A and B are shown apart, each in its own frame.
Chain A
Amino acid sequence: MLRVTAGVAFINMQREKDSPTGNPRLLKDDACAPAGDTLACFHCGRASGPDGVIRMALLGEERSFCCHGCAAAAGLIAGAGLGDFYRLGRGAVPAAAGADQYQYWRAYDHPDMQREYVSTSGGDEDEIALRVEGMTCPACAWLIEKYLSCLHGVREVLVNYTRRLARIRYDRRAVTPSRLLTRLHELGYRGEPALPGWERRRMERERRALLRRLGVAAAFGMQVMMVAWGFYFSGGTPEREQVRLMQGLNLLLTLPVVLYSAQAFYRPAWRSLALGALSMDVNVSLAIVLAYAGSAWAVARGAGDTYFDSVVMFVTLLLVARYFDFSARRRAALHLEHLQERRPALATRLTPAGDEWRTETLAASSLRGGDRILVPPGEILPVDGTVCEGASRVDEALLTGESLPVAKRTGDPVYAGTVNREGALHVNVTGLGATTVLAHIIRAAERAHSDRPRMTLLADRWASWFALAVLVAALAAGLFWSQLPGGRAFPVVLSVLAVSCPCALSLATPAAYACAIDACLRRGLLVARGRALEILARATHFIFDKTGTLSGGALQVVELRQLSPLSRQECLRLAAGLETGSEHPVARAILRATGDDRRELAADLINHPGLGVEGTIAGRRWFIGSLELIRRHVRIIPWQLTGEIESGRPDMAVYLADAERVHGLFVLREAPRAGAAGAVGALRRQGLRTVMLSGDRRPAAAAMGAELGLDEVHAGCSPEGKLRFLDRLRAGRRAVTVMVGDGVNDAPVLAAADVSIAMAAGSALAQSHADVVLMNDHLEALAFLRALAVRTRRIIRQNLSWAVAYNLLALPAAVAGWVPPWLAALGMSCSSMLVVGNALRLLKTPDAEAR
Chain B
Amino acid sequence: MDILYLLIPLSLVLLAGIVAAFLWAVNSGQFDDLEGEGTRILMDREEDEMPPPADAKERLR
Question: Which chain A residues have a beta carbon within 8 Å of chain B's beta carbons?
Answer: 204, 208, 211-212, 215-216, 219-220, 223, 239, 242, 245, 249, 253, 380
Contacts and interface: CB of A to CB of B under 8 A. Distances in A.
Interface in B39-57: none
A220 B1 contact: no
Contacts of B61: 380
B27 A216 contact: no
B23 interface: yes
B15 A208 contact: no
B4 A219 contact: no
Interface in B1-32: 1, 4, 8, 11, 15, 18-19, 22-23, 26-27, 31-32
A291 B23 CA distance: 27
Nearest to B23: A212
9 contacts: A204-B32, A208-B26, A215-B19, A215-B23, A215-B26, A216-B22, A220-B15, A220-B19, A242-B1
A215 B32 contact: no
Contacts of A239: 1
A741 B32 CA distance: 42
Given A211-B31, A245-B4, A216 B19 contact: yes
A249 B19 contact: no
Interface residues of A, dominant DSSP: helix
A204 B61 CA distance: 20
Contacts of A219: 15, 18-19, 22
Which 10 pairs show the lowest CB-CB distances between chains A and B?
A: A215-B22, A219-B19, A211-B26, A212-B26, A219-B18, A208-B26, A223-B15, A211-B31, A212-B23, A216-B19
A739 B23 CA distance: 53
Contacts of B26: 208, 211-212, 215
Contacts of A249: 8
A389 to B, nearest CB: 26
B8 to A, nearest CB: 6
Interface residues of B, number: 14
Contacts of A215: 19, 22-23, 26
A738 B18 CA distance: 56
Given A215-B26, A219-B15, A253-B15, 4 more contacts: A204-B32, A211-B26, A219-B19, A242-B1
Contacts, number: 33
Nearest to A222: B15
A239 B22 CA distance: 36
A253 B23 CA distance: 17
A380 B60 CA distance: 13
Contact of B27 (A208, A223, A380): A208
A107 B22 CA distance: 44
A216 B24 CA distance: 12
A243 to B, nearest CB: 12
Interface residues of B, dominant DSSP: helix
A420 to B, nearest CB: 13
A380 B8 CA distance: 59
A219 B18 CA distance: 8
Contacts of A211: 26, 31
B15 to A, nearest CB: 6
Q: Which of A211, A220, A239, A245 has the most CB of B within 10 A?
A: A211
Contacts of A208: 26-27, 31
A215 B30 CA distance: 13
Contacts of B32: 204
B23 A223 contact: no
A223 B11 contact: yes
A249 B15 CA distance: 13
B52 to A, nearest CB: 16
A219 B4 CA distance: 20
A242 B11 CA distance: 17
A253 B15 CA distance: 10
A245 B1 CA distance: 11
A245 B3 CA distance: 13
Nearest to A245: B4
Nearest to A249: B8
A169 to B, nearest CB: 33
Contacts of B18: 219
A784 B1 CA distance: 65
A245 B8 CA distance: 10
B47 to A, nearest CB: 14
A286 to B, nearest CB: 27
A380 B18 CA distance: 44
Nearest to B22: A215
A223 B11 CA distance: 8
A218 to B, nearest CB: 9
A19 to B, nearest CB: 54
Contacts of B4: 242, 245
A38 B37 CA distance: 55
Nearest to B11: A223
Contacts of B23: 212, 215-216
Contacts of A380: 61
A538 B31 CA distance: 41
A784 B5 CA distance: 64
B9 to A, nearest CB: 10
Nearest to B58: A341
B44 to A, nearest CB: 15
Contacts of A212: 22-23, 26-27
B10 to A, nearest CB: 12
Contacts of B1: 239, 242
A204 B29 CA distance: 10
A399 to B, nearest CB: 15
A245 B26 CA distance: 33
Nearest to A216: B19
A216 B25 CA distance: 13
A219 B23 CA distance: 11
A204 B15 CA distance: 26
B6 to A, nearest CB: 13
B35 to A, nearest CB: 10
A331 B53 CA distance: 19
Contacts of B31: 208, 211
B16 to A, nearest CB: 9
B22 to A, nearest CB: 4
Contacts of B8: 245, 249
A603 B14 CA distance: 90
B26 to A, nearest CB: 5
A406 to B, nearest CB: 19
A557 B50 CA distance: 59
Contacts of A245: 4, 8
A247 to B, nearest CB: 13
A216 B19 CA distance: 6
A338 to B, nearest CB: 9
A330 to B, nearest CB: 11
Contacts of B11: 223
